[in-house]
Amino acid sequence: MLDVPNWPGHLAGQHVDLRLTAEDGYQAQRSYSIASAPEDRDLVLTVARVDDGEVSPYLVDDLQPGDELEVRGPIGGYFAWEDRMTGPVLLVGGGSGVVPLRSMLRHHRASQSTLETRLIYSVRSPEDVIYRDELTELAGDDTIDVRLAFTRTSPPEWDGLRGRIDAGVLDDLGWDSSPDAVAFICGPNGFVEFVAQSLVALGHPPRQIKTERFG
């Protein structure tokens, strides 16, 4: 949770750049998606801890309330929920790529949007799911549908999606027949590339497929 002086507000889907400076001047900079909705009182980032990472273990393990960080943002405008969208919305997240999509779903609810919105969230195992309870609760909204796809381990008696998301899943769950449909895809590079290309092949309008990749 960040308290940023003079924060101008953000759009769901935007990110911030964080820069860390060590005592001897060494610096490292990373981008993190904003997890909170524009309507939320607090600005929240969700950071996935990368075991051999340079910055995320510090943020997750060492950072204390009251510590100061250098924040630049909000950043981005392309990968952002626009209230003027008219079509159904497909959100596809891989791993921590779900973070900006969670901001969008919270915004959807807070702004009482009526756009049909479906999240497909590809995740390794039940233990890796972030915002599990909140997603379940959001899925109670008439216009929000949440589908989890477990790529490695699924819960006992799971009757939902298993394995990597493939073209068949996207064909079943996408909005490819609607000319106004918008898709937001966020995750690791290969995941985003595959989903985006599959949606194009299924007839989804390419200009309305928005992607954000992380390394």
Binding site for other proteins (CB under 8 A): 15, 17, 19-23, 26-28, 31, 52-55, 58, 62-64, 67-70, 72-73, 75-79, 189-190, 210-215
| Cβ proximity to other proteins, 50 vs 110, nearer residue | 50
Minimum CB separation from other proteins for residue 165, in Å?
18
> 76 to each of 82, 156, 205, how far by Cα in Å?
12, 40, 22
165-198: b (≥16 Cβ within 10 Å) or e? beeebbeebbbbebeebbbbbbbeeebbebbbeb
| Cβ proximity to other proteins, 26 vs 84, nearer residue | 26
Which residue reads 């860390």 in tokens?
A: 20
| Cβ proximity to other proteins, 31 vs 143, nearer residue | 31
- The values of phi and psi at residue 208, to 5°, are -105, 20
Minimum CB separation from other proteins for residue 72, in Å?
5
Is the peptide bond preceding residue 188 cis, with omega within 30 degrees of 0?
Answer: no
Minimum CB separation from other proteins for residue 211, in Å?
6
| Cβ proximity to other proteins, 74 vs 174, nearer residue | 74
How far, in Å, CA of 93 to CA of 89, rounded?
13
Minimum CB separation from other proteins for residue 187, in Å?
12
In the chain, alpha helices (H): 56-57, 99-110, 132-138, 167-173, 189-201
| Cβ proximity to other proteins, 73 vs 95, nearer residue | 73
Q: Are 83 and 62 in contact (CB under 8 A)?
A: no
| Cβ proximity to other proteins, 15 vs 106, nearer residue | 15
Minimum CB separation from other proteins for residue 54, in Å?
4
Could you tell me which of 62, 138, 76, 146 has the C-alpha nearest to residue 106?
Answer: 138
Minimum CB separation from other proteins for residue 78, in Å?
4
